A = this chain, B = another copy of it.
Amino acid sequence: MAEQHSVEIRHLDLDFGAVKVLQDLNLDIHEGEFLVLLGSSGCGKSTLLNCIAGLLEPTDGQIFIKGRNVTWAEPSDRGIGMVFQSYALYPQMTVRGNLSFGLKNAKVPKAEIEKRVNRAAEILQIQPLLDRKPGALSGGQRQRVAIGRALVRDVDVFLFDEPLSNLDAKLRADLRVELKRLHQQLENTMIYVTHDQVEAMTLADRIAIMKGGQIMQLSTPDEIYNRPRNKYVADFIGSPSMNFLDGHLENHVFKRGDLVMPMTGYEFAAPKVADRKATIGIRPEHVITGELVQGAPVKSEILVDVVEPMGSDTLVWGNMGDRPFRLRMDGNARVKPGERLPIGIDPSRASLFDASDETRL
């Protein structure tokens, strides 16, 4: 284990009374990594983050930051900074006050405080705002101040709890990029909680998908998108979500009624997979349409139900037989509800899951 781990979590359990929120959770986060905790509401993301921050006490297990066991350490002694969904800025203090409050409390010398606040303000480009109060800031500016509050404290690990979910779409996109840029600049470890998969995909070095207090998959965005470990992850990632078709895997050929799909080019998890009931998953954006259908390995057609033109591309909601089927087409595509649309599928970009335990085959 040559590589330094920034945060290590060992066998973490956390109960709220009878409710087990985290269950034997293990997680290693690399130095300088941007890790996103992604999961649906209530899956325990915030709880985990609060445990790392020391704001919640685990029922069992240990937490290490930079190799130091901080399980019992105070939040302020852990070398972490946290940015909250509501930002939790101190409303009656100026931005400068917000930034320096923690430092003053730690009895850092005046000059040093000054220096650090200015540096943080410079990095975040909020120098002109230093004497305003949070009430007079826009959402994005507040968010920067909240980050600044962690920044001045020179922490090893940044923790973010859905810092963008209160903002409107446009601002969210801008701030996402800013965060990413900040990470490139600071090279700190960042742990970021969200339930927005676009954020997860764009920001993360690695994504941890959580469900029911456990981690379902911990991989790069690419891997998670292209090779989801199980049907839950596959369904969770991607918008509109993956199309699933139930069928049979026989001799590495997926069959469902008329649809026969030899899985050539598909990377099976094990070299030889036995025959069984299986589910195939096809991402809407991987469906082949238009002229390219001719050359597609597998062909089928769907009955169009709803068409959503989105400018840059068009979403088509239809049915393949009795199953709903979504696909994403070019923004210029002209499709009408009620139309029969020929499509093509490339098995090498599909995902195959066991029908019973739903793991990837």
Contact = CB atoms under 8 A, between A and B. Distances in A.
A108 interface: no
B315 A240 contact: no
Given A181-B305, A184-B337, A315-B202, A169 B310 contact: no
B311 A328 contact: no
Interface stretch (A9-17, A29-37, A145-153, A172-180): A172-180
Interface stretch (A49-57, A190-198, A210-218): A190-198
A328 B284 CA distance: 18
Taking residues whose C-beta sits less than 8 angstroms from the other chain, chain A's interface range is: 35 or more
Contacts of A180: 306, 308
Decide if the interface of chain A is mainly helix, strand, loop or mixed: mixed
A311 B169 contact: no
Nearest to A305: B181
A55 to B, nearest CB: 24
Contacts of A240: 173
A255 interface: no
A238 B312 contact: yes
**How many of these chains are in the complex?**
2
A309 B274 CA distance: 35
A96 interface: no
A246 interface: no
Nearest to A169: B196
Interface in A244-259: none
Interface string A151-163: 0000000000000
A226 to B, nearest CB: 9
A180 B307 CA distance: 9
Contact of A309 (B201, B237, B283, B337): B201
Given A168-B196, A198-B310, 18 more contacts: A169-B239, A170-B239, A173-B239, A173-B240, A176-B308, A177-B306, A177-B308, A180-B306, A181-B306, A184-B306, A201-B310, A202-B308, A202-B310, A221-B311, A222-B309, A238-B312, A285-B311, A285-B331
A39 to B, nearest CB: 12
28 contacts: A168-B195, A169-B196, A169-B239, A173-B240, A176-B308, A177-B306, A181-B305, A181-B306, A184-B306, A198-B310, A201-B308, A201-B309, A201-B310, A202-B309, A202-B310, A202-B315, A221-B309, A221-B311, A222-B309, A225-B331, A238-B311, A238-B312, A283-B311, A284-B312, A285-B311, A285-B312, A285-B313, A285-B331
Contact of A169 (B181, B197, B202, B285): B197
A198 B169 contact: yes
